[in-house]
Structure 1
């Protein structure tokens, strides 16, 4: 039965989609059957895996509206063990169209029931907001992984995300836990990065992953080639960081 992990942070530009794509690819490279769900209407996770979002006909949008099953919509990728449930801009309308739907917060969870046993990991790339798409993702997930950029405003918005997680726990998914906090875009030459990293570790303790994702040009370049970093340049520090993160996640550590 798949372990479902939502990658969430309503603050944009923190490496959320980069993490979703590269963690999924690293799990797949370790021969873990993995499904990446793109719940962001921008569909950058699809692009980052070489899927043309403009040519995709069936997407997670039709799954949420009950027009298609998840199994009908899944796309294969270049990696044998990685599948994708794609998105496109149509998903923008889902929040409005679901407004009168009974159990609208549980649509994704219900849709995943039939395919959950086919995978070991299901990774959900949430949109940078706390709307109905993110709520659906959190209601379906076992845990939440929060990427945080090592910058001055790193903690901004984290309180709101924590409150949302707590609300989802109370109302929709009592078993939801914090998988961990991942420090991203770390620049070892920058004193502020070290200071922010230290403060976050002091505040969250063992809920912060040991792996730190560096600021790395290869991570930035890879999506434009439609590849995860490990297929673009496996020797790069960015690719290696996500391979290490996958190892830490599989091992469990303190984040189970």
Structure 2
């Protein structure tokens, strides 16, 4: 979702109406029904007050009374309705010998039945996101994992999202404080995280064991000497908030030998695609956590992230993770040179999805702030996320849990959700 689409979604989220054309009404609703109403309204991009208005209109027009709704534990609920609608509603409830609480609950329930959750919009061609930088230690693994987690969160739940700080100017006028958290439904996509780094950081950070050297591995599939199906190596990330939507292809330390093995492989730049193509239909997004390398394995990753026939621009491509310091700029230059060479040599359509400035801390002074500005001044690729250097990520790594499961409301988590929407 682009910034403009995020702004549009934010502007449509529940807000209070104006007393000049609506009247405030107070009643009660059970918490479960209020939560369903809040989620469904956010999914459909309309105000809660509009949903209640539509529900009451439909309910008052029914020829017979709907089934009774369990209102046990109802708590105060207020909204703004058109002038006179609440009086009509109260008269109808009296005629039907119902309490106002029961009538309102039925009205909301009717609206929910008439406005089902929208289906997840799945890409026609699996999206392939290559998270890369030749420099180690910039946080590629954390960004790859967090982006995948954000894309896999349930669309039937609301999650806190904050637009990245550098987009504050674009949000001006949408809200009094553009950095307020917004509750948005999860993206709900089926995601595969591919640990393409022989150091196995992604595998270990998510609580799994690297594949044994003597067994099957992605390296062996790329080299054409696999013993079984790649599908059998994939493991689920078992956290309730991701359902069955988030999976991992673990790494193996034999990936240290990948460049040597690829040297003798036919059309070696297509080796990663040949290995992953049998399982692509099972996922909406495949995110590859690349090694800090400019070798043949990186060539294969770049080739895999190219734009395919009938694929819209910006759906797949490279996501470059940097830090707000000078050495990241040097590594970035080497990486983009390699990408541009491959674009020309192999005639690839490879899109830059953007730059993520990670581990940013303005308290580090001029070097950090001036480096961030230098990244912001690059227009192609543009900066699509700025993530802070915060303790929750380190704690999640220590506990071997996904960040968005360990600390779903922390600043990094809400920033990663914004990043996932920005490149969607």
Structure 2 counterparts to residues 167-246 of structure 1, below 5 A: 167-172=341-346, 174-191=348-365, 192-204=367-379, 207-209=382-384, 211-246=385-420
What 5-or-longer segments of structure 1 have no aligned partner? 251-256
1:3–1:240: structure 2 CA closer, same or farther, 3 Å change rule? same
RMSD: 1.8
C-alpha contact (below 8 Å) 1:21/1:48 kept by paired residues:
no
**1:63 is matched with which residue: 200, 221, 245?**
221
Task: Please state whether the residue corresponding to 1:154 is helix, strand or coil.
Answer: helix
Shift of 1:72: 2.9
Q: How many residues are treated as equivalent by the alignment?
A: 249
Cα separation, 2, equivalents of 1:187 and 1:200: 15
C-alpha contact (below 8 Å) 2:198/2:255 kept by paired residues:
yes
| Cα deviation digits, residues 52-97 of structure 1 (max 9, x gap) | 1166843212221221443232222114211111112111112212
Task: Please state whether the residue corresponding to 1:135 is helix, strand or coil.
Answer: helix
C-alpha contact (below 8 Å) 2:147/2:417 kept by paired residues:
yes
More moved, 146-155 vs 6-15: 146-155
Cα separation, 1, equivalents of 2:400 and 2:249: 16
1:42–1:140: structure 2 CA closer, same or farther, 3 Å change rule? same
**1:74 is matched with which residue: 234, 259, 266?**
234
User: Which position in structure 1 is the counterpart of 2:192?
Assistant: 35
Structure number with greater CO (CA < 8 Å, separation at least 6) is: 1
The TM-score with structure 1 as length reference comes to 0.91
More moved, 19-28 vs 90-99: 90-99
User: Which position in structure 2 is the counterpart of 1:102?
Assistant: 266
| Cα deviation digits, residues 162-194 of structure 1 (max 9, x gap) | 111012212336111111001111113233322
Q: Between Structure 1 and Structure 2, whose CA radius of gyration is higher?
A: 2
Cα separation, 2, equivalents of 1:58 and 1:25: 26
| Cα deviation digits, residues 26-45 of structure 1 (max 9, x gap) | 11113111111111001111
Cα separation, 2, equivalents of 1:70 and 1:168: 27
Shift of 1:159: 1.5
The TM-score with structure 2 as length reference comes to 0.56
Cα separation, 2, equivalents of 1:26 and 1:173: 33
Cα separation, 2, equivalents of 1:63 and 1:12: 25
User: Which position in structure 2 is the counterpart of 1:254?
Assistant: none
